[in-house]
Structure 1
């Protein structure tokens, strides 16, 4: 019986094929189980670069491109394309094994030969070269072979590299992109190359072994049932596959303490967290609910739970408890104190105003509440002496000792009133839960895995630190400071967590096209982003492995026109084969999102909330930028990005009240827009009415 491996390019393309072609593709590939050339319509071509290439007939107009082994029965499906395109692809490409990584490489030999035989005119007139500081020896050490090296020596700048990248073998392209982004040879080796180097010797003639080593880009399918599952949810299932750099981190036998994984959007941090859970439960005998997999919001926790079900069998799943931090904290406090009654923002502002008025304190409710959250609760302050000594990280307005005493008196009056009335906030619940868990004789978990760590408050960190005993593999943390959208800043050391020597950065985006990513990075500008270890985070070397359409900027004269143009764009996406459920419309506020839903309904477009699991693929998703965290869609429309809406005025502290907080608030709005834009896999559309927000880069010509 023939065995089938499936390339990621095919998986990403399958969902875009028209339904009849999808059906015929399934039928044709199912015949691999028969292992008869006649049944599969497997055809050998003349005048090819690689004698192992074949095409498989899908129908009269479509063909698949397949690598056939010289021995054995492991076939690899790479692409499904229109007939002539498939023939051209098969004839121009060659399949090799990298001498350093042992991975399968797919190279456009015809294009590479044309580049070296007829170099671009710019390379003749320009003497400076992009990689002139990197020796041939270092290039070879990093896995750059002679053919690619000849091309690399012609490249004069990064735009030229971006143009050539699609014809390069992917692994070698990653190396060149890393060097171009400013990474040293040593950094490229440790971050990109070393994780891919196999323990066993490499046979460059053994294509089957290379396929098995390339599971980050090729899925090995075991039988017809798994093949059908891959077709039903190609991108959802692909999310739980690992690339080599991710696999090294997720399946390291053990960390001798806490470990941290950071990286930009789409680099696979969540996938790494899921696989770390799998490693923990697979290699140890663990009792039920002894591993906590947690994150910031309930919606993200539900997504983690769904993805985990694809990785673990039912018995393994019993060892893992999946809850967002607030939900777990609520359960701990409710078990001790009974029913919880929440105090939300409006009530808190009134209580803060009343406490300040009672003491004739000249501070606004906004300032007092932020001081309470970011200084008192963040530093676990219990009395005036503790407050006077506490660091005020991120608080720009300086206070004299006398002013601090006044502020403490107001905050104490506020918190006494809340306790008297048995009212809670999410942070006071986390604070109390941390105290209760720390007082237990034994922590409740053996291992804790945390995703989206950048948004957690120090009170929540204290709870997580108390949840697991100090020791090997206690905490495994994943996140991206550039996606911090809730204004919480923390030093892990300050909450008893150290990750020295156990921190890894992922640099390759496997979700968003390079064109969308490049534009989205412009949203961040030149702002400095604090990491979680008393330093600054960097996106040096961060890049996309994909190419596609650039974002579209769409101004409108009125909100009604913006909605009409949006509806027309959605209709175009649907005509191109994009399911409504794989499309998202995103706004800054709930109010704007609800208005857009009404206006789209007037245009006959059915919508659903972003996190509504009851709605199927026929409903387009609508929600806020905050709720987009952790999600991805083929097409994303970000609406209402006008000067009066972003930054959201009520989310920005005035310069007069706190100049440092003002800068951080604007930075947070930039990060929020960045998160929303980087949820798009293929198409990103930005629209506004009136004047465009200053946060929107103008590097593209509006349409």
Structure 2
């Protein structure tokens, strides 16, 4: 039976093909289903660098490129390109085995020879050192850099020279050099990019026999996916933009497929580094380790919102095609789990208050009735960030409680006044038969505390940075302390709901089991650089008593710089934005691959109307799965969380909108909370910008947001 491997470049090029050509690719490789690959007519070329690289006719104008050894039954699908380009690529390239990872590399021999021959012309300026002067030849060789490339590496003077070699260097070797260029030391690069594959190669070398190509492909899982059969290939080709989740960089794989963690584990990293992908693979790995008689739903994969949970469920279907195995993993958002537990205990449905304006009005009414000088906003924040956060159940406990992070000091008398307001607020809710989401989570945690049997064997949490301490206490109580009990994925740079936590104080210790991802797989370097510029000078906590860092955070993709556009008025901004989106569509971008983020839904509806007038379909995202309906996706910045698009436009990033005044605590009332609110608004813009894969456009009318000065200064 043929072993099929698919290179990620094949997949990305396939995704950009016209539909009739995609259909023909399906038909050609359908022959693998019946094991008739001998009839595929894999053609050899004359004077090629690697005789194992063959081409195959797709259409009159398109060819595929396949690595097919002389012996054995393994095939690696490499490229789909126009006829002449495919021939030229096949003639110049050679497949080799990396000396550190023992995985397959693709080398552009002709270009590398030309680059090496030109070393004297790109030598560093007199008196300057090469960018890798601090790394020894021994370390470079240990990291898999070929000896014949060392002279070229030694003469690279800056990142521009390295970037120029991106497309011709073997991917693994470029990855190593990019990590070193980003400031990682050789040992960090070894752990991130090499160690897991090298260890796997050592373990598997004793068992290998026969087809060496299959073994080398298996060791290249960051760039090559081994398919279980032709059905899986067809499924991947039917959803090419989703299928990148099949590919795991070594730094991701060592986290996702570690045999076991002794306790809670965590993966962090900036946007696009694949934290969600790691969590999905970890869930699949844990499901496969469970006994055959394990009941359904033994593993919980959870996140902050229903929309994100729906996206996780869709991705899990792609990653785990076996229905019986997938049934072991329940996907639901945190509040839904809490609601279910409390509803089962009470025997009746719960009435949840979700209108924040109504909640604020109730607090304000109580403050006025009790004659307090605190505002309703202050009381609501004190209740959520101190009382609920610390699970305080008595006035005596509140008097002794730490209020770290709250900028306004409270005397014992004022604390007593606040407690009276809290009692009045909760009494009103009880009398109305109403709950807030956080109350439900707190109650669910209390119900779970005395139980010996917990609902789940393993709990995995995505977007962990947005959860409140009450939600964390429930999650901790859902699973008994044990190996692999909790697995967390998140990035505090993307915290947009202001929930600060200390995992350690909540019984979730990840010391020694925390891993950071640094390679962005979604966003071009230009968009990434512009977006991270928004966060210049900001200190962000890591949820565990330290400071989170984007050091070493980098992208492997290049593209155009983000565009910014100012307009005198809203109508002018909408017209220009709609015109740009229409041009993207005319240029071949599918409407569903375009996202438009706004601060307010009303503006989103106006943009949708403008697009419809230009003949461009548009969907304003609301309830239900984000992918429902055909057309450009338009949604609030909050709604865009967890989504991604090839082309992204952010509208009305104007003064008075971003940051939104209503989202800010008055600085004179609580200066510390004001700073936290500003950081939340800044993170929201950062999240929206990093939804883009290839192109980003940011616009405003009137004066631009003061945040935009950060990325341009």
Global fold match (TM > 0.5): yes
Confirm or deny: 8 A CA contact 1:97 1:210 kept in the other structure.
Answer: yes
Q: CA deviation at 1:398?
A: 2.7
Report the 3-state secondary structure (helix = DSSP H, G, I; strand = E; otherwise coil) of the residue aligned with 2:422: helix
Find the aligned partners of 2:248 and 2:38 in 1 and give their Cα distance.
35
Tell me the residue number matched to 1:321. Answer: 330
2 CA distance for matches of 1:180 and 1:697? 27
Whole-angstrom distance in 2 between the partners of 1:420 and 1:665: 32
Shift of residue 699 of structure 1?
Answer: 6.0
Counterparts of residues 217-236 of structure 1 (less than 5 Å): 217-236=223-242
Name the residue aligned to 2:554: 543
- 1:200 is matched with which residue? 204
The answer to whether the aligner puts 1:694 opposite 2:703 as a matched pair is: no
**Structure 2 vs 1, CA of residues 519 and 93 (structure 1 numbering), >3 Å: closer, same or farther?**
farther
Cα deviation 1:348-397 (Å, max 9, x = unaligned): 22222222223322211111111111111111111222222222232222
Q: Distance in 1 between matches of 2:298 and 2:419?
A: 40
Match of 1:429 in 2: 440
Structure 2's unaligned 5+ residue stretches are none
Whether the aligned pair in 1 keeps the contact of 2:55 and 2:90 (CA below 8 Å) is: yes
1:25 partnered with 2:25 = yes
Alignment of 1:395-434 (within 5 A): 395-434=406-445
**How big is the alpha-carbon RMSD for the aligned residues of Structure 1 and Structure 2?**
2.5
TM-score when normalising by structure 1: 0.94
SS in 2 for 1:271: helix
Distance 2:411 2:560 in 1: 54
State the shift of 1:402 in Å: 3.3
Once the two structures are overlaid, the 10-residue window that deviates more, 15-24 or 324-333, is 15-24
Q: Is the 8 A contact 1:18 1:577 kept in 2?
A: no
After superposition, where does 1:192-591 map in structure 2 within 5 Å? Answer: 192-197=193-198, 198=201, 199-201=203-205, 206-285=212-291, 286-310=294-318, 311-337=320-346, 338-343=348-353, 344-591=355-602
In structure 2, distance between residues paired with 1:4 and 1:126: 51
Q: 439-448 vs 133-142, which deviates more?
A: 439-448
Look up the SS of the partner of 1:309 in the other structure: helix
Moved more, 314-323 or 654-663: 314-323
Alignment deviations for residues 250-277 of structure 1 (CA, whole Å, 9 cap, x no partner): 2222211111111111222112111222
What secondary structure sits across from 2:59 in the alignment? coil
Q: Could you tell which deviates more after superposition, 195-204 or 225-234? A: 195-204
How many residue pairs match? The answer is 701
Would you say the 8 A contact 1:196–1:245 is kept in 2? no
Distance 1:37 1:320, change over 3 A: closer
Query: What whole-Å deviation, never above 9, does each CA across 1:482-509 have from its counterpart, x for those lacking one?
Result: 1111110101011111111111111212
Judged with a 3 Å threshold, the aligned counterparts in structure 2 of structure 1 residues 581 and 493 are, in CA distance, closer, same or farther, namely same
Q: Distance in 2 between matches of 1:97 and 1:617?
A: 45
Q: TM-score, normalised by structure 2?
A: 0.93
Q: Distance in 1 between matches of 2:36 and 2:352?
A: 67
The CA deviation at 1:698 is 7.3
For the residue of structure 1 that corresponds to 2:60, the secondary structure is: coil
Match of 1:662 in 2: 674
Query: Within 1, Cα distance between the matches of 2:402 and 2:51?
Result: 68
Q: 1:2 to 1:576 in 2, by over 3 A?
A: farther
1:498-523 CA-partner distances (Å, limit 9, x unpaired): 11111111121222222222222112
Specify the alignment match of 2:663 in structure 1.
651
Q: Which residue matches 1:160?
A: 161
- The CA deviation string for residues 264-297 of structure 1, in whole angstroms up to 9 with x for no partner, is 1122211211122222221122222222111100
Distance 1:685 1:453 in 2: 28
Check conservation: 1:64, 1:81, Cα contact below 8 A: yes
1:628 to 633, 637, 640: 640
Q: What is the Cα deviation at residue 617 of structure 1?
A: 6.7
Matching residue of 1:184:
185
- CA 1:614–1:194 in structure 2 vs 1: closer, same or farther (change >3 Å)? closer
Q: Distance in 2 between matches of 1:485 and 1:148?
A: 45
- Kindly tell me: are residues 674 and 308 of structure 1, through their superposed partners in 2, closer, same or farther at Cα, counting changes over 3 Å? same
Report if the CA contact (8 A) 1:563-1:600 is conserved. Answer: no
Pick one of 658, 673, 683 that aligns with 2:695. Answer: 683
For residues 316 and 34 of structure 1, do their structure 2 counterparts lie closer, same or farther at Cα, with a shift above 3 Å needed? closer
- Separation in 2, partners of 1:238, 1:51: 29
Deviation at 1:41, TM superposition (A): 4.4
Preserved CA contact (<8 Å) 1:352 1:368: yes
Distance 1:566 1:122 in 2: 45
Distance 1:154 1:402, change over 3 A: farther
> Do 1:582 and 1:617's aligned partners in 2 also have CA atoms closer than 8 Å?
no
**Secondary structure, in 3 states, of the residue corresponding to 2:242?**
helix
- The one of 623, 640, 654 equivalent to 1:642 is 654
Tell me which moved more, 311-320 or 180-189: 311-320
| Contact 1:523 1:696 (8 Å CA) reproduced | yes
Deviations 1:608-661 (A, max 9, x none): 244654966732211111111222222222112122211112112222122121
Given that 1:292 and 1:321 are in contact with CA atoms closer than 8 Å, whether structure 2 keeps it comes out as yes
CA contact (8 A) 2:74 2:213 kept: no
SS in 1 for 2:72: coil
| More displaced stretch, 409-418 vs 317-326 | 409-418
| CA distance in 2 between partners of 1:200 and 1:178 (Å) | 27
Determine if contact 1:97/1:207 at 8 Å carries over to the other structure: no
Q: Distance in 2 between matches of 1:296 and 1:359?
A: 35
Shift of 1:299: 0.7
What do the CA deviations read for 1:518-559 (whole angstroms, capped 9, x no partner)? 222112222111111111111111212222333222333332
User: How far off its partner does 1:36 sit?
Assistant: 7.5
Distance 1:659 1:71, change over 3 A: same
My pick for the range that moved more, 220-229 or 674-683, is 220-229
The 3-state SS of whatever aligns with 2:311 is helix
Does the alignment pair 1:90 with 2:98? no
Counterpart Cα distance in 1 of 2:562 and 2:148 = 34
Alpha-carbon distance in 2 for matches of 1:305, 1:35: 33
What is the CA–CA distance in structure 1 between the aligned matches of 2:530 and 2:110, rounded to whole Å? 31
User: How far apart are the structure 2 equivalents of 1:364 and 1:143?
Assistant: 62
Identify the range of structure 1 (401-410 vs 303-312) with the bigger mean alpha-carbon deviation. 401-410
Q: Give SS of 1:42's match.
A: coil
Q: Structure 2 vs 1, CA of residues 36 and 409 (structure 1 numbering), >3 Å: closer, same or farther?
A: closer
Say if 1:500 and 1:229 are closer, same or farther in 2 by CA, change over 3 A.
Answer: same
SS in 1 for 2:48: coil
Query: Any idea what SS the aligned residue of 2:204 has?
Result: coil
Q: Does the 8 A contact of 1:148 with 1:168 survive in 2? A: no
Cα distance in 1 between the residues matched to 2:411 and 2:628: 58
